């Protein structure tokens, strides 16, 4: 598995699969904002989106239909079109000489597929490049914050509750929250199409399907992906994932217990000096991470860092990140940047 023969590193051919979706559009914007060396861009989507014109670098990219021959001459393909599309087309893209960076859950737990957060486990990228998996959004922001703590103090146990925005369910969920909110404020009835219950002015402790163990698939993603990314299956993880009536950015309350003793000030200094993390932790001035302020940024924002009152060697913190950026598009482009550093 390799890139197309002798690519021009300053003038790459890039495909975005699922370009018209919420994450796909953010991928285009992130490629532009980070000045990624795109020489030729292929915006790919389903037949119903063909002909749409998406803004890119002062011009437009016209959407073309995703087909089996769409990857000829493509160097890197960013996929964000769901697991079924990735399962079908990612191997075809690789056979065409293309490296795939996939945002779906299709390949994350495959043994030979690297699951990458560039600030956390860049060495896991390896030397054979075919399909590279992008972790789940809720996993990414938690693990970026946990990695320096694990390296310094060795994590024993994690309790995490997530408060996840509706954009994690796609554009239809965003529109459903808008419409339900309008209807309720106008005294009208609401329809539930995306979620099993009303999401406006409500919280749903239910993301993805329920598993036999009583946890949801989203919660088990956090467990299994964290173990794989940190290369440590001994860490005990107990998650609860909640959908909240927020449009963008996920928030998480994390409690972490370590084997070695921690001091809050030391942890703050450690996180402050770690890549990809911003600290907002000044409760005297009501300053702490907020979803509305995390939107549009690629950092993981951490605050409310404090000692656990009930356990030694344990702390609590609050972590917020834009799920469409660091949780998806930005992390994918960062993986592509890491790939270029390895191969250039």
Q: Which residues are catalytic?
A: 137, 250
The Cα-based distances of 182 to 95, 199, 250, 291 in angstroms read 48, 12, 23, 21
Rg (alpha carbons) of the chain, rounded to whole number: 20
| CB of 78 closer than 8 Å to CB of 332 | yes
Burial (Cβ within 10 Å: 0-12, 13-18, ≥19) of residue 25: buried
What is the maximal distance between C-alpha atoms in the chain? 62
Q: Which DSSP string do the residues of 81-135 spell out, in sequence order?
A: S-HHHHHHHHHHHHHTT-EEEE-SSSSTT-TTS-B--TTT-GGGG-S--SEEEPP
Alpha-carbon distance of 38 to 32, in angstroms, equals: 9
């Amino acid at each position: 598995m390799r890139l197309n023969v002798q690519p021009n590193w300053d003038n790459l051919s890039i495909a975005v699969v699922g370009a018209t979706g919420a994450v796909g559009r953010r991928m285009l914007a992130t490629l532009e904002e980070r000045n990624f060396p795109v020489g030729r861009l292929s915006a790919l989507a389903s037949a119903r989106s063909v002909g749409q014109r998406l803004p890119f670098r002062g011009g437009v990219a016209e959407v073309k239909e995703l087909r089996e021959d769409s990857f000829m001459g493509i160097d890197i393909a960013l996929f964000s079109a769901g697991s079924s599309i990735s399962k079908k087309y990612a191997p075809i893209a690789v056979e065409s000489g293309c490296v795939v960076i996939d945002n779906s859950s299709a390949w994350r737990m495959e043994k030979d597929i690297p699951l990458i957060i560039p600030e956390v486990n860049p060495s896991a990228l390896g030397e054979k490049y075919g399909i590279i998996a992008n972790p789940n959004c809720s996993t990414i922001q938690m693990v970026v914050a946990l990695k320096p703590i694990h390296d310094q103090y060795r994590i024993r146990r994690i309790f995490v509750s997530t408060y996840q925005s509706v954009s994690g369910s796609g554009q239809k969920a965003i529109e459903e929250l808008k419409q339900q909110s309008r209807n309720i404020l106008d005294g009208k009835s609401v329809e539930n199409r995306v979620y099993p219950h009303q999401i406006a002015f409500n919280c749903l402790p239910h993301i993805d399907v329920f598993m036999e163990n009583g946890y949801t698939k989203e919660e088990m993603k956090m467990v299994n992906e964290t173990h794989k990314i940190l290369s440590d299956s001994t860490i005990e993880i107990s998650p609860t994932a909640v959908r909240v009536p927020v449009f963008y950015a996920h928030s998480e309350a994390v409690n972490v217990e370590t084997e070695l003793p921690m001091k809050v000030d030391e942890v703050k200094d450690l996180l402050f000096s770690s890549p990809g993390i911003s600290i907002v932790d000044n409760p005297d001035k009501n300053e702490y991470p907020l979803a509305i302020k995390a939107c549009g940024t690629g950092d993981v924002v951490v605050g409310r860092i404090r000692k656990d009152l009930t356990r030694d060697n344990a702390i609590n913190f609050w972590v917020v990140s834009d799920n469409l950026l660091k949780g998806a598009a930005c992390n994918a482009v960062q993986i592509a940047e890491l790939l270029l550093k390895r191969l250039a």
